Amino acid sequence: MRIAAEGLRLLGAVAAGAVTALVNLVFLLLALPFLGNPNVGAAAARLARLEARRLRLDTAALDALRAGDGRAVRYLAARVPVGVLGGLVITLLVYGAGAAVLIVSAWGHGEPFDGMVPSPPLVAYIGLAGIVLLFLDLSGVVGVHALERRLAERMLGPDPTLALERRIAELAESRAGIVAAVDSERRRIERDLHDGLQQRLVALSMLIGRSRRGRPELLEQAHQEAQQALAELREVAWRVYPSGLDSLGLGEALAGVAERSSVPVRVTCDLRRRPPMAVETAAYFVVCEAVTNAAKHAGAGLITVEVHEEDAAVVVRVRDDGSGGASPAGGGLSGLARRVAALDGGFELSSPAGGPTAITAVLPCG
């Protein structure tokens, strides 16, 4: 069903391209004396955008169009013969389908078609010829559509220099974001150590000092404080980098996140192979931050974590049934977005008021 729908879409796109090719030809003939006029360039850019949308091109190709650079006019002129070729292919397909219907209808009623009466050799010959011609015609439709896309991407795509400048700007922004994220994480670790572990160690030192001055009953309390300090130190170490991620893999590390969470967490990790370490680390911290936020701020009763492969990328989705309203500008979530962007990945947050909250990260593995 999906293949049939895609085939019909291609037929429709090529047929529409044949019609718009004639429209473009008329436009070019009328606009030929006024090619230097900015209005003509703007109209050509609009027509080229329509063609790009018909071909489902990347939005970068649409954004790169400018009214005065002449690329839109050159593209419209270049695609006219391709559109006409597509129209001829569609015409042959319609003609062949009509001829097949007439032959089947005539022979089904016992009547000759064009003086020919059905016989096993003739039916086999016409059937085989029809299948071959149908295959060639459908291949022509696919080829014309591919040629149109190639032509549009080549002539409407962004200028290589502009694309390189945009990429340099993205890398500079990503680098600055990583530096900010690292500084933010360092501040959070320092705050955790100062407000939690350091205070507990001070209390432990005082208890040990008092027990040495004749209060041995305080040794049990000191022992408990030492156990709590060890647990907090282990928690801070896990937040810096989980040691189990190297040895056990992402699935087991996420299971550990679920065990330590105060809110029930359901984890599904379906990976056919281990992704690169940088991808595993980013996926782990996305889940950690999302689970922590849901437990602390969203009032969630259940958190669902899904990790799977999709088109040479690892997709991480974290959903909770909390109150929503999470802001992407928050320190933790903005740091996650920068971490994902450093891997050329995508980060999306959906958190309407009243919930639910859904975080999706797409991490390329290439």
**125 pLDDT exceeds 80?**
yes
d(CA 294, CA 308): 21
Using only C-alpha atoms, the chain has a radius of gyration, in whole angstroms, of 33
d(CA 67, CA 42): 4
pLDDT band at 288 (very low <50, low <70, confident <90, very high): confident
Average pLDDT of the chain is 80
| Of residues 35 and 26, more confidently modeled | 26
| Of residues 222 and 284, more confidently modeled | 284
Strands (DSSP E) along the chain, which ranges? 265-270, 303-309, 313-320, 346-350, 357-364
Structure confidence at residue 7 (pLDDT): 80
**88 pLDDT exceeds 90?**
yes
Q: Which of 195-199, 234-238, 248-252 is predicted least confidently?
A: 234-238
DSSP string, 20-67: HHHHHHHHHHHHGGGTT-HHHHHHHHHHHHHHHHHTT--HHHHHT--T
Mean of pLDDT values over 323-339? 75
Structure confidence at residue 84 (pLDDT): 92
Mean of pLDDT values over 234-260? 73
Predicted TM-score (pTM) of this structure: 0.50
Q: What is the pLDDT of residues 150-209, one digit of tens each?
A: 888 888 776 667 667 777 777 666 666 666 666 566 666 666 666 666 676 777 677 677
